[in-house]
Amino acid sequence: MHPRKRTRPTLGFMCCFSSSEPPEINLKDSVPLQLLEFSAPMPPEEELHARFSELVDELDLTDKNREAMFALPAEKKWQIYCSKKKEQEDPNKLATSWPDYYIDRINSMAAMQTLFAFEEEEMEMRNKVVEDLKTALRTQPMRFVTRFIELDGLTCLLNFLKSMDYETSESRIHTSIIGCIKALMNNSQGRAHVLAHPQSINTISQSLRQDNIKTKVAVLEILGAVCLVPDGHKKVLQAMVHYQKYAAERTRFQSLLNELDRSTRHYRDEVNLKTAIMSFINAVLNAGVGEDSLEFRVHLRYEFLMLGIQPVIEKLRAHDNATLDRHLDFFEMVRNEDELELAKCFDTTHVDTKSAGQMFELIKKKLSNTDAYPHLLSILKHCLQMPYKRGAGSIQQWQLLDRILQQIVLQDEKGENPDVSPLDNFNVKNIIRISTTSLRTKSIPQPSQPLKSFNWSKLGENKITGTIWYEIDDRRAFKVLDLKDIEKMFSAYQRQQVCKCGTQEDKFVPKSEQNLTKSPKTSIRGTSSFVKLKETGSMDDLYLSSRKVKELSVIDGRRAQNCVILLSKLKMSNEEIKRAILEMDEREELAKDMLEQLLKFVPEKSDIDLLEEHKHELERMARADRFLFEMSRIDHYQQRIQSLFFKKKFAERLAEIKPKVEAILCASREVMRSKHLTQVLEVVLAFGNFMNKGQRGNAYGFKVSSLNKIIDTKSSIDRNITMLHYLIIIFEKHYPDILNIQQDLAFIPEAAKVNLAELEKEVFIIRSGLKALEAELRYQQSRACDWGDKFVPVVSDFITVASFSFSELEELLAEAKDKFSKSLKHFGEEEGCMQPDEFFGIFDIFLQSFSEARHDLENMQRRKEEEERRMRMEAMLKDQRERERRAKKSTGGSVSEEVGEFDDLVSALRSGEVFDKDSKLKHKRKRSANQLADCGGRERPVTKVNY
């Protein structure tokens, strides 16, 4: 069963990495900002922005929080900056500004809690220390977090969690400690450190045992978020198994279902907890391997269903909470999708997994008349002999059988289990490989005579491990193939006969064989038409006439002329152009193509030197010279134009690249998941093994490029029939669903057009452009800006948004490359030897040939039906004439004979038979016409019939 990945709404997981609420910006200082007194006045906007950027960089905030920080008013930014600097410089706070202080305090608190019973005031002081650490981990510079990690602060927190007494574990201190770990994971470095710790997630999960609802919610948020982090999903499953043993629960999710069903009589806390539980359940079901694997989702969801989650969900609807309902709806939506997909595998609409009878009937129907059916009977016979007495020994044996089946279903090609392995050192693939070594030396039916060969590139048995070919068994296809008919159609001895699909007299060349000559597409780069001028004459005349008015021009004549043409198109004065450039074209006055042209007229050093020499003659300067002179006065003019052009083109470039990346990603998934493609490969493998005897046969797989060689093998009976035509006839008869294969591979045509090297080059250009933009922003921030210069604020905002969008594109490209690499391996191709356009191009050409061959067969069938209809008409006419002749002989009337002959001629004319080339019929009809001409009846004599 192939995994699938569904398109569905983004999960609203309550986790520490995302939130639907506006980002919260916490400051360690508890003094209200408006009460702080500042000794230094607020600097200019650019300097403030530069200082504030350094501060924000030190805080290592998320993109969302960074954006919120930069959106604050200038006064608020200055207050935050001064408060943080004051805190760093204050000697009284120096002790509490470093993690050493907090680690020492928490270690002492852990040691003292077993010796003393603390008063409420002391508990508050202890909680404040932990809360201060949580705030520091969120707001202090990166060096604080780095120092905390170096001092093994995580182990300090985990040890405190392990050693808590009952009173502390039920207090706010416990919740704050979990909050510290969550704050540490908000930082990329801290998150990696927590995930790398061998016991961190297990220790965090132990806090689910407490009664404090806020603590449970915080733990579930962390566990749900870890599910979404690479390599985190399995750690969470292992942590739940650890918790099962720690809490002595029957199953790993038992306590969660109990909490989901329990009422606390406090609506807000109860809804928050139940929402966090459902969020966690959705995360553990759909993240990680559950994103792609239907088998895993069905397996894990069944565990929740066995615990009774469905009636609990129906009860939760009574809370009438929108957020909770959204998680409930998502759970049921994905469940319905998966059940429908599972039912499709058994050609039904629903599988009742509560009914052992229905499931057995479906399996029996699926395996009947297959090689697996005797093994199913063997399994059932041995199950009859399993112990049925109540007792631990009996249950354990059934559990062992259940776990073996789970591992067979879930284990991947590498022998790794996405869930916690129920059986150690049980590698399903190795066991199957050992047990089927003799079975894989398959017995292939041999033809009774030499057949035409199928020119494929076969794969040996040693190259199919971990590929689609390992799951394909062409012996299944041999049960439906008519081998005698194949021998007749593709005999090595040429025998031109009338084919059952058409006649020798009705031959045509199929589309798949035609060499259609297509007129080459000519790409004409349109050139911009000149702006119509009120004055008559060409631009040359205009330019020369302007030179006659004693204008000063030091620029090359042709370059100056082209510059004037560009300025005429812009229809803006030099001042307006300068203002637009300084404002980064906030008013959208400069089109992208105009900016691209402006880049061609950047003042060069030689131009600037010449223009500087004549700057006192500014009024006499020609238009182009004056434009270049004024633009040269703008600091970093070229970099500004390049930055503005990059900014305007960014969204367009992203919109061009993203569909190409998505095409590779989706096409890679499609070829790996398509059941119809798998069936095609299985039938082709069987066909090729039957036709290719000896070394060319007995293949366990073949290179995908062989698909497009199918069309080269032609029938020995009718050369218009290829092996592909014949395969489609087989598909129509035995595998009708395969005819819809193009629906499975909808993204193949687009992916076949994508050159990965060119795609990566385009991404590199954007990355380089962003870096150049950031470098220019740093330069502009370091200098005093001119009046009306908005480069810094506009580009700062743009970089914030663009960096996020570009990082998404890079992640998508990395995922697409990974999926493509896996798809190559899936088909037994060597990684790095094929590019997407070549790999998917093979499938694209095959699908086109497949479609054309179907069209050919439809034309053949239509022509065959027309021929049969014509023959039936001829037979009917022949019978009619025979009856009329018999009637004529019986009556003996001459008039009747003449009329009958004429009616016969009219009938032949109507049916087109009069144009038949049969000489006998021509002679007969001439004789009939002559007889009519000799008659003296009322009809007009016919002297000659031309046909």
Is 596 part of any domain?
A: yes
Per DSSP, helices labelled H in 247-355 are 254-261, 267-286, 294-306, 309-316, 322-345
Picking from 161, 177, 197, the residue at the C-terminal end of a domain is 197
Evaluated on CA atoms 367, 371, 372, 374, the torsion sign reads positive
pLDDT in tens, 656-674: 999 999 999 999 999 998 9
List, in sequence order, the alpha helices (H) in 735-835.
741-744, 748-751, 756-781, 791-826
**620, part of any domain:** yes
pLDDT band at residue 541 using 50, 70 and 90 as cut-offs: very low
Whether residue 193 lies inside any domain: the answer is yes
Q: What is the pLDDT of residue 326?
A: 92
* DSSP notation for 406-455: HHHHH--TTS--SSPPSSTT--HHHHHHHHTHHHHS------SS-B----
How far are the Cα atoms of 526, 557, 561, 766, 941 from residue 540, in angstroms, in the given order? 21, 10, 8, 39, 84
pLDDT in tens, 357-376: 889 988 888 888 877 888 88
Query: Can you name the residues that pair with 621 across neighbouring β-strands?
Result: 552
Among 190, 186, 257, which residue's Cα sits nearest to residue 218? 186
For residue 925, what pLDDT band results from cuts at 50, 70 and 90? very low
Q: Give the distance from CA 469 to its chain's centroid.
A: 24
> What average pLDDT does the structure give for the chain?
78
Helices (H), 346-391: 356-367, 373-384
pLDDT score for 924: 52
Q: How many domains does the chain have?
A: 4
Q: In this model, does residue 312 exceed pLDDT 80? A: yes
Tokens of 459: 């794969």
Mean pLDDT value of segment 843-867? 92
Confidence at residue 263, expressed as pLDDT on a 0 to 100 scale: 82
Please give the Cα distance from 405 to 129 (Å, whole number). 51
- Tens of pLDDT along 284-310? 999 888 888 888 899 899 989 999 999
Count other C-beta atoms under 10 Å from residue 216's C-beta.
Answer: 24
Compute, in degrees rounded to 10, the torsion defined by CA atoms 430, 436, 440, 443: 180
Q: What is the CATH number of the domain that holds 376?
A: 1.10.238.150
pLDDT above 60 (res 877): yes
Asked if residues 663 and 747 have their Cβ atoms less than 8 Å apart, the reply is: yes
Instruction: Indicate whether 543 pLDDT > 50.
Output: no
At residue 722, what are phi and psi to the nearest 5 degrees?
Answer: -100, 175
Give 506 or 637, the one with higher predicted confidence. 637
Q: What is the separation, in whole angstroms, between the first and last Cα of the chain?
A: 66
Distance CA 318, CA 547 (A): 86
159 in any annotated domain: yes
- Domain holding 588: CATH number? 1.20.58.630
**Is residue 57 domain-resident?**
no
Range with top average pLDDT, 326-330, 399-403, 565-569: 326-330
Last residue of a domain, one of 391, 415, 440: 440
Tens of pLDDT along 391-400?
A: 656 778 888 8
Q: Note down the domain range covering 396.
A: 370-440
Out of 651, 668, 701, a domain closes at: 651
Lowest mean pLDDT among 4-13, 204-213, 344-353, 462-471: 4-13
| pLDDT tens profile 238-265 | 999 999 999 998 889 999 999 998 887 7
**pLDDT tens track for 734-744:** 889 899 899 98
Q: Is 378 exposed, middle or buried (0-12, 13-18, 19+ CB in 10 A)?
A: exposed
d(CA 621, CA 633): 15
Q: For the whole model, what pTM was predicted? A: 0.53
Asked whether residue 477 is assigned to any structural domain, the reply reads no
pLDDT band at 837 (very low <50, low <70, confident <90, very high): very high
Q: Is the pLDDT of residue 236 over 60?
A: yes
Q: How confident is the model at residue 905 (pLDDT cuts 50, 70, 90)?
A: low
By mean pLDDT, which of 168-182, 456-470, 524-538, 818-832 is the weakest?
Answer: 524-538
From residue 851, give the alpha-carbon distance in Å to each of 510, 722, 741, 784, 836: 11, 14, 10, 67, 22
- The conformational region for residue 415 under phi > 0 = left, psi -120 to 50 = alpha, else beta, is left
